[in-house]
Amino acid sequence: MSSRYSFGGDEHIFVEVSEEMSLEAFFKTLSMTNAVRDSKIKGVTEICPANASFQIKFDPDVISPDDMLRELKRLEQNAEKADHSLKTRIIEIPVFYNDPWTHETLMRFRERHQDPKSTDIEYAARINNLSGIDGFIKAHSGSPWFVSMVGFVAGLPFLYQMVDRKRQIEVPKYLRPRTDTPKLTVGHGGCFGCIYSVRGAGGYQMFGITPMPIYDPKQEIKYLRDFMVFFRPGDIVKWKPIDRVAYDATVADVEAGKFAPRMRDVTFSLDEFHKDIDGYNHKLEGALNGN
């Protein structure tokens, strides 16, 4: 997997690890950006990792563009030999699928959708050959998802489904973006899932909503007091379908400072994952449950 390098003026280098998203591309991106951070290269001012690429900002008065490029290519050689394992955490995220708030929103924007006569979740189920809403929820929540990057909007995670490619849920974005999306909407576009960290415009299909805040710039929420952004690249997410009663109870617990995300520290091995995807996912879920 050979990376493609390009300069952005005198202060940026963009590195495209792969033209398509894969866990292998993500691991190489993470390995290289971690190596840049750990190497403490003089002149580097920002490191911005993405799904299968990253960008480095540097001060050309401290390190020349050509020298920066040589450093990155040296680090790439080491990244290709790196162990495909990652100390991370698996996190349970409650989701109220087919909720009234995203439903009301999507109905306001049907003229921008591929199928104005159905809801987003019905459309996604149909084009992925799943048995209606229940079949979609089972497929969406039945396996873990990898957080491949955080950004675009502050705190927003991009999520990659951890199944073989033929089973990955894929849906196009809206024909034209919406001007409104409820905060904490669970969405999907292309092969990526996401959680909208704030209310605003958006183009991803909307499947549900989580009661668990993931971004708090005021840092008033108990589990976000140390850092305003909850997710970090490499996190593993397990969706938990909930009903309206559980949703309301969780919202109340968050407001009362009683809610804590359910999560466990794990070591993820890409090589072991590929040997038995379903078995390894079951093992990860067992770790979340304390098994």
Question: 27: helix, coil or strand?
Answer: helix
Q: What would the mean pLDDT of 36-61 be, rounded to a whole number?
A: 94
Could you tell me where in the chain the CATH 2.40.100.10 domains are found?
A: 87-288
Q: Summarize pLDDT for 110-137 with one digit per residue, the tens.
A: 999 999 999 999 999 999 999 999 999 9
Could you tell me where in the chain the CATH 3.30.1360.40 domains are found?
A: 4-82
Task: Provide the pLDDT for residue 1.
Answer: 59
Of 47, 65, 72, 45, the C-alpha closest to 150 is: 47
Of 66, 68, 21, 27, the C-alpha closest to 46 is: 68
pLDDT at 287 over 90: yes
- The C-alpha atoms of residue 12 and residue 119 are separated, in whole angstroms, by 42
Residues 24-38, buried b or exposed e (16+ Cβ, 10 A)?
ebbbbbbbbbbbbee
- How much of the chain, in percent, has pLDDT values that exceed 70? 100
Backbone angles phi, psi at 290, to 5 degrees: 85, 15
Classified by CATH at the fold level, domain 4-82 comes out as Gyrase A; domain 2 (3.30.1360)
For the domain with range 87-288, which CATH number is right: 2.102.10.10, 2.40.100.10, 1.10.287.1080, 2.40.10.10? 2.40.100.10
pLDDT at 277 over 90: yes
Task: Provide the pLDDT for residue 170.
Answer: 97
- The C-alpha atoms of residue 160 and residue 51 are separated, in whole angstroms, by 9
Task: Provide the pLDDT for residue 51.
Answer: 87
Task: Provide the pLDDT for residue 83.
Answer: 75
Q: CA torsion 247→252→256→262, rounded to 10°?
A: -10
Q: What would the mean pLDDT of 64-82 be, rounded to a whole number?
A: 89
